[in-house]
Amino acid sequence: MTRKKSAFRKILNFFNGVVTFVRALLGMTLLIIIIFFGISAFSNQGISVPEQGALIVTLEGQLVDQKKGIDSIGEIFDQSAMKRQETLTRDVVRAIDVAANDRRISHLILSLDSLENGGISKLTEIGNALLRFKATKKPIISFADNYSQQQYFLAAHADKIFLNTLGSVQLFGYGAYRNYFREALDTLKVDVHVFRVGNFKSATESLTSNKMSPETRNQSQKLIDSLWQFYCEKIEELRQLPAGTVADYSNRLDIHLHSHNGDAAQLAKSKGLIDRLLSRTETKQYLEDLITNPEGEMDSIGYHDYLNKIDSENSRRILSPQQKVVVITAVGTISDGHQPPGTIGGDSLAAAITQSRDDPSLSALVLRIDSPGGGVFAAEVIRDAIASVRAKEIPVVISMGSYAASGGYWIAAEADRILAMPTTLTGSIGVYSVIPNFSRSLTSLGVHSDGPDTSPMASIMQLDQPMTSQAKALYQLSVNNIYDRFINLVSSGRNLEPEHVSSIAQGKVWTGEDALRYGLIDELGDLKDATVIAAKLAKLDQYEIEFKESPTTLFQQLVRSFSAHGLQLLKALSLNEVFHPKAVAPIDLTIDHIIKTSDLNDPRGLYLYCHDCPI
């Protein structure tokens, strides 16, 4: 009996120890959160907008419309998460626009070394804001050790462009490459059954072929040619260069570099791409001389701090509760259910839309779409939620980002007004379903499947049983039905003849300029334009813009808020000043977008997805 009591006491002590440890861990976590919030709040109090100074815009990582979710404290301190920086495009645009009309901001400095990727449409949105800033006669200065193709697009908007004496301007053009797996699947004896409508619906092509089809090659070539033409013409316009300069620079880069003895920096200067070659020390001295006041203090403020200060100054401004334009972001692959930020969940996005619909202060809704599509059912859930907003005579305006295609276009088609950037990729009106089958592969390993059934359809979900002709017919009929629904949806929503929609469908992808010509969108414009149009449709003279995210738990909100403040504070403590740029990030020359099956979870396995969109 004594031994049993002793054993029981040991077990009880063990669990008491676990509970004590968990309590201590939670207490420590809470203390860390409080400390970070406290230090962050204190540090913000010491920051002020200079009387006459520079707005420093340091772009880091990837430009996004919505940051990916961080759902645990551990992710905040994860090294890979720390390196995966994201910059909200709308924050950059808002800071530049406010600064343009702020007498305290005399000029703008672009620091671009840490910008990794953005997409031409998001870069153009920031570029438009830079042009609005320049229109006020305030100078813009850009500097970097090297300029990637995307970094240089923004730099070209500056009045002066500085480049390191050992730097380069890397303009290589666009490419659209992908991997093909048909031979590998044959080797593994895996059968892939593809059901689709649309000769240009190429999302499944990599599973059924060893090379690009003529239709896909032709479409991809047209897309990248259009994007590259836009890029070249914009650079030549901004830098006042002769037509063809940028294309010649890219096409004959080796020849041009040879003529300058391999000096890439001198080549860029000779071609008029940059204004001055300066070392880091010289750049630092130039900028210090520029933004140092007579008291020897540097009159500058980073755009994050600037926005915080502006929001603090405007916090007491009160508007009528009926003067609100709500902006909801829809970013990523469309999936069923509730999904974290960075992925569009059918249920989570629909919930955000319906919650806004029931808000008595809502006057207009803007849905910002940056998605290549995804599951049919999830897209329909979102479309239905949007329809419920319009049923209350609340205007809905769509703002398309880098892409809003296939399922992304499904949810946009019935809006009151659709805007896209000239380089937005949209359309891709088509449907597909992919069903893998492993019966041959398993048979080759000596694994066999056998048993009775009550109907020919009983084995339809068995991936170790050969697919029957009836099952194949069932899937194809389902795909055909969804395609017909898509055509009718676009025809009705856009007031277009079904025959016209059919002619521009078939999975074809269009740029924003082409989409405007074919009636798929109403006009070209960015998110700022979309909010203005939404306010006009709602007949608002004054209005407040509210950015709303999908519903999250209180813990997720705390973690994300802590993450945002914590990362900024860690950067401040690491003393990464604007005059000490980070090492240049690897340049992403090609993008091979692989569809992850974990992201595609439609209940019926039917998808509206544009494979060619993330170019």
Domain(s) of CATH 3.90.226.10: residues in the chain: 51-72+86-175+213-312, 319-444+457-552+597-609
Nearest-10 Cα torsion for 285, 288, 289, 294: -140
pLDDT at position 9 is: 63
**Domain 51-72+86-175+213-312 CATH class label:** alpha beta
pLDDT at position 79 is: 46
Q: Which residues of 113-140 are buried (b: 16+ CB within 10 A; e: fewer)?
A: bbbbbbbbbbbbbbbbbbeebbeeebeb
Count CB-CB contacts under 10 A for residue 461.
Answer: 10
Nearest of 277, 272, 265, 274 to residue 241 by alpha carbon: 272
Concatenating the DSSP letter of every residue in 239-293 gives HTPPTTHHHHHHHTHHHHHHHTTT-HHHHHHHTTS-SEE--HHHHHHHHHHHHB-
Active-site annotation, residues? 201, 406
Report the alpha-carbon distance of residue 146 to residue 162 in Å, rounded. Answer: 10
Question: Helices 303-313 & 2-45, crossing angle to 10 degrees?
Answer: 80
The percent of residues in the chain predicted with pLDDT above 90, rounded, is: 58
pLDDT at position 586 is: 31
pLDDT at position 43 is: 47
Highest mean pLDDT among 307-321, 401-415, 426-440, 593-607: 401-415
291 token code pair? 């933004």
| 574, pLDDT greater than 70 | no
Rounded to the nearest integer, the mean pLDDT of the chain is 84
Report the alpha-carbon distance of residue 302 to residue 98 in Å, rounded. Answer: 13
The DSSP symbol for 466 reads P
- pLDDT, tens only, 356-382: 999 999 999 999 999 999 999 999 999
pLDDT band at 581 (very low <50, low <70, confident <90, very high): very low
Task: Give the pLDDT mean for 424-447.
Answer: 90
- pLDDT, tens only, 393-434: 999 999 999 999 999 999 999 999 999 999 999 999 999 888
Could you tell me if 488 and 498 are in contact, meaning their C-beta atoms sit under 8 angstroms apart?
yes
CATH number for domain 319-444+457-552+597-609, candidates 1.20.950.20, 3.90.226.10, 3.50.50.60, 3.40.50.620: 3.90.226.10
pLDDT at position 359 is: 92
- pLDDT, tens only, 87-136: 999 999 999 999 999 999 999 999 999 999 889 999 999 999 999 999 99
| 37, pLDDT greater than 50 | no
- pLDDT, tens only, 239-295: 999 999 999 999 999 999 999 999 999 999 999 999 999 999 999 999 988 887 777
pLDDT at position 83 is: 47
Say which range, 454-458, 492-496, 602-606, has the weakest mean pLDDT. 602-606
SS3 79: helix
Count CB-CB contacts under 10 A for residue 314.
Answer: 10
pLDDT at position 318 is: 53
